[in-house]
Chain A
Amino acid sequence: MKQKINKIINDLAAPDVSFADVRITITDYESIFFMNANLRDYSSSKGSVAIGIRVLIDGCFGFAGSKDLSEASIKRLIAKARANAIHGAKFQKEKLTFPALPAITGEYEHKPEIDPFAMPKAEKLEFLHKLATSIKPTGKIVYSYIATEFERQEKYYANSEGSYNHMIVTNTLPMMMVVASDGKQTQSRTWPGHMSAGRAGFELFYQQKFEENAELIIKEATDLLTADVITEEKADIIIGAGHLALQLHESVGHATEADRIFGQEISYAGKTFVKPSMLGTFKYGSDILNIYSDSTDPKGMGYSPMDDEGVPGRRVDIIKNGILMDQQTSRHIAHKLGLEPSSNMKASFADDFPLVRMTNLCIAPGKGSLADLIASTESGYFLDFTKTWSIDDNRNNFQFTTEIGYKIRDGRIVGIVKEPTYFGITPEFWNACDAICGEEEWAYHSTFHCGKGEPGQVMRLSHGVAPARFKDINVSVKM
């Protein structure tokens, strides 16, 4: 495959081509879905090949992608990518440029502890069936599911600067959910929440203690049917790591994707309130807030020796001591902003166009355990397990509902509330952060489903976070 991809790069060489890159991905995929303890769906695909060719001609990118890797197809794709660039350049005011980078080489293979594609299928199905049976509807529980996705992707990348990358990774997304009903209302609980994926194999089910938590979510979903709602206007809230990962994702991650500054995502994903003039001065969060983008950590799903336009993996401080310092960039956008490219250009599959994407976007840990943080909270709520998320076009106004809230009084959890909902304005919210838990609570929380771009792509990415506390947050939404 290395020879093939290098040959395509050679075939793309032409006087009018100022940059070109080629990606090939080979993907195995398996999904299993148990509904009410019955196997509702088992599906798989093996060795799914995709190729994408991108060329920069006359300051305009043209792209062609396909799942057909034949010689005839490659010839057609080269011609199509060239034509797309040449025609696109006719409707262009500013030619796209960026400085050259030295050639680099990357090679990486991630090996899961339990390879979900190699393990005996009967063993895998038996485990999941048993788990599904443990949450089978009974009593107030009226619906339940176990959903899991396994993916192994091998990727080849080469560009006209001589850079080459080859990597193989395995990712797993496990999830379970129960729905309780009293005939009038329904309440749900998931485990381990919506950021449940990881760079791992089947071991993730054991690491995330699915079997141990089946009874807990049944009890909590049932108890939520008779739980109160939050009645205060404002409250101090501690956000659990799983949900905080999404808060970070929506209100910092997407807001600091620099393609949004220039409106490249207006037509679908949206803009950002961030302006280039804010870099180095804007107080995005409190002094204890440090957020970085790190594609050099192989424990997260955003790891890569280089991104999908040949920028070596980097750790970049996005927010340092509360100040906005940098952005997630492409080579073109970084050049426009006078920044070093941050190694954030990624495409989900080879036949997708690379976009500015989060990789491993993390909040640096603070100090202390979650138990310490709760104990130090006089009055408030501990919120976790995302139920609803929504944020505006500029990533400024967000509103989240979690499945459950744990009421804290005098440093102790004294009860639960249902559908706790909070909202705020991004910089005000992050400036209200007064405590972040330490290393012992810090972990990656990951997703398979970050949507962006058109045609749409869903990216696999991770957030390293520990629980954190936010003071005086709006928790009353009138409806």
Chain B
Amino acid sequence: MNEQLHYLKSALQKHSELKYVLTSREWQTDFLRFYQSQTNYNISKDSSSLDAILYKGKKSCSFTIDHPDKGKIDEALQTALDMIDIMPEDPDFVDVEDDLTLAAPRKIVNNIEALGLDEKTRILGELAKRAAKYDFELYGTFICNYQSWQLLNSNGLDKTSTQSPIYLEVKAVHKDSQVTVLETFGGDDFKYFDEAAFGKSLLTKVALAQNPVVDVAPGEYEVILAPRCVAEFAQYLSYGMRAGSVDSHNSFFEGKLNEQLFPASFSLTDDPTDPQMIRMDYGDQGHIYRPLKLIEDGYFRAFMCGQYYHHKLGLPKNGNTGECLKVNAGNAKLEDMIKSVKKGLYISSLHYMNFINARETSLTGLTRDGTFLIEDGKISKVVNNLRFTERISRIFENVIEFEDSAHTIPFSDNYGEFSVNSSRAPHARIKDFNISSSTRTI
């Protein structure tokens, strides 16, 4: 693969008038999908590709070659060279990335090889047996990816990066009531997977799911948000911290740098270095990816900005992409947080969120995979899935307290080449969370 990359680079060096960014990618996945405590399907996929972006002054043209060879490269390059002069200009383009900082080398285990299908099905089989005692069946995915890329550009940047994320998502679903609870593991090091603790946590949730199912009326509730929900709301909030959002006038944070917008207990960092997360070496266009404080003690501190918008908007360049978000833990014990709720909700997971107005951070979405009623400081009943319509900024303004430890939450990106990333977040207790309707279903 690198041979093809360097072949293209050599060809481009004959064209001194061009700037370029070249990326070669190798990607593999082993993907076990299960339902009703059995295999749905097993998938193995691999791909290799070569991406090129060519610039001639302020004109650009890009192409992708899957499974490249020299013949395909010659043809694609000639087509691009023939086209670039007729391209309209982008006057805002100045230069390709010039950050040549290299990340410290890391040893990457290929988890596709390290974690075979037999081991995956053994783990699932054990969990399925334990869940079956409560009439629950398991649904979900157990995925290992192995992906690497090399990026070269005309400013002398030459970087490689490898990742091998693991994603285990187990949903336990009651055979009759369909009440569902969720447990996940994500990371790039399987040594952090504690099989006993994972099973215990899942079974604890299964026990809570034995409670009767009720509905609740729309209105404002005090809620305990599970780490997955806190992480997902933080992800949506971070969209407005991207320089591109400022440029398209969709950013809640435009003009608010260094203003206190949230309680002092809320801090949010984009941190690609945490070993308990899926780590990343480089961010946008190959810029070194380093921890960046986005919200510090409630103050908005930074936009995530790459080369293009750095020149266009004058924002400091950092190359951060928001794929490794961490919400700081607080001081409260989860048990005490629940005890302090007289009547409220515990929300495990969110579903199908979409902005109504991104600049205002208003959105709607639903609860999923375990919504519980809290009465007099105890989880008492299962609640049908609920719809909320809220402003994310208001949700974080309404934080009462955060749990004293944060948890790694994996997320899968299903709209591009399948990728897995992670966030870390604690539970959060929030006041006045707006439930706008009930789904009447579990």
List the interface of chain A (C-beta within 8 A of B): 34, 38-50, 60-69, 80-81, 83-85, 87-94, 121-122, 125, 129, 142-143, 179, 181, 185-186, 262-264, 266-268, 270-271, 273, 351, 353, 387-394, 396-397, 399, 401, 419, 421, 423, 425, 449, 451, 453-456, 458, 474, 477-479
Contacts and interface: CB of A to CB of B under 8 A. Distances in A.
Given A263-B173, A393-B385, A39 B88 contact: yes
A194 B46 CA distance: 31
Closest 6 CB pairs of A and B: A456-B414, A84-B42, A455-B418, A88-B39, A397-B439, A91-B121
B412 interface: yes
B366 A393 contact: yes
Nearest to B355: A388
B47 A66 contact: yes
Given A93-B37, A125-B88, A181-B249, A454 B64 contact: no
Contacts of A273: 441
A91 to B, nearest CB: 4
A415 B385 CA distance: 36
Nearest to A70: B67
A44 B66 CA distance: 11
Contacts of B32: 88
Contact of B414 (A85, A94, A264, A268): A268
A403 B87 CA distance: 32
Contacts of A389: 354
B65 interface: yes
A478 B218 CA distance: 10
Contacts of B90: 38-40
Given A91-B38, A267-B140, A451 B88 contact: no
Contacts of A122: 86
A121 B31 contact: no
B76 interface: yes
Contact of B36 (A34, A85, A93, A388): A93
A80 B249 contact: no
B359 A88 contact: no
A50 B48 CA distance: 11
Contacts of B48: 67-68
Contact of A87 (B121, B351, B441): B121
B24 to A, nearest CB: 13
Given A68-B48, A266-B139, A90 B64 contact: no
B214 interface: no
A143 B65 contact: no
Given A186-B249, A399-B436, 17 more contacts: A38-B88, A42-B83, A60-B42, A66-B46, A87-B117, A186-B250, A186-B359, A262-B36, A266-B173, A390-B366, A392-B366, A392-B441, A425-B440, A455-B45, A456-B418, A474-B437, A478-B436
B404 interface: no
Contacts of B43: 63-65, 84, 353, 455
Given A42-B87, A392-B441, A479-B434, A399 B414 contact: no
Interface of B: 29, 31-49, 59-67, 72, 75-76, 79, 83, 86-92, 117-118, 121, 124-125, 137, 139-141, 143, 169, 171, 173, 178, 180, 218, 247-250, 351-357, 359-360, 362-366, 368, 385, 387, 389-391, 412-416, 418, 434, 436-442
Contacts of B442: 394
Contacts of A39: 59-60, 87-90
Given A263-B173, A267-B171, A392-B366, A42 B61 contact: yes
Given A267-B33, A397-B387, A478 B434 contact: yes
Given A88-B32, A351-B45, A390-B353, A44 B63 contact: yes
B22 to A, nearest CB: 14
Given A394-B441, A479-B434, A388 B354 contact: yes
B169 A267 contact: yes
A85 B42 contact: yes
Nearest to A44: B63
Contacts of A419: 356-357
Contacts of A89: 39
A84 B414 contact: no
Nearest to A272: B441
Contacts of A65: 43-46
B47 A38 contact: no
A125 B83 CA distance: 10
B229 to A, nearest CB: 15
Given A88-B32, A394-B441, A454 B250 contact: no
Given A67-B48, A454-B418, A392 B75 contact: no
A425 B137 CA distance: 28
Given A68-B48, A91-B38, A479 B436 contact: yes
B45 A66 contact: yes
Contacts of A44: 62-64, 79
B356 A67 contact: no
B39 A67 contact: no
A263 B64 contact: no
A477 B436 contact: yes
B303 to A, nearest CB: 17
Contact of B29 (A34, A90, A185, A455): A455
Contact of A479 (B39, B140, B390): B390
Contacts of A179: 248-250
Contact of B249 (A121, A143, A394): A143
Contacts of A46: 63, 75-76, 79
A449 B414 CA distance: 11
Nearest to B178: A271
A185 B360 contact: yes
A392 B369 CA distance: 11
A265 to B, nearest CB: 8
Query: For B87, B89, B171, which residue has the most chain A Cβ atoms within 10 angstroms?
Result: B87
Contacts of A391: 352, 366
Contacts of A186: 249-250, 357, 359
A184 to B, nearest CB: 9
Nearest to A449: B415
A266 B171 CA distance: 8
Contact of A396 (B75, B140, B418, B440): B440
Considering residues A85, A90, A451, which has the most beta carbons from chain B within 10 angstroms of its beta carbon?
A90
A454 B33 contact: yes
B284 to A, nearest CB: 15
A237 B59 CA distance: 47
Contact of A67 (B47, B385, B414): B47
B86 A125 contact: yes
Contact of A49 (B67, B248, B359): B67
Report which residue of A39, A121, A185, A267 has the largest number of chain B beta carbons within 10 angstroms of its beta carbon: A267
Nearest to B438: A397
A270 B434 contact: no
A453 B31 CA distance: 11
A467 to B, nearest CB: 23
A209 B356 CA distance: 27
Nearest to A187: B357
Nearest to B414: A456
A91 B389 CA distance: 41
Nearest to B67: A67
Nearest to B84: A42
Contacts of B355: 388
B390 to A, nearest CB: 7
Given A179-B248, A390-B364, A42 B178 contact: no
A133 to B, nearest CB: 9
A167 B34 CA distance: 32
Contact of A43 (B29, B37, B62, B354): B62
B316 to A, nearest CB: 22
A34 B91 CA distance: 12
Contact of B248 (A83, A143, A396, A478): A143
Contacts of B125: 91
A399 B41 CA distance: 33
Q: Which of B83, B351, B352 gathers the greatest number of chain A CB atoms within 10 Å?
A: B352
B60 A451 contact: no
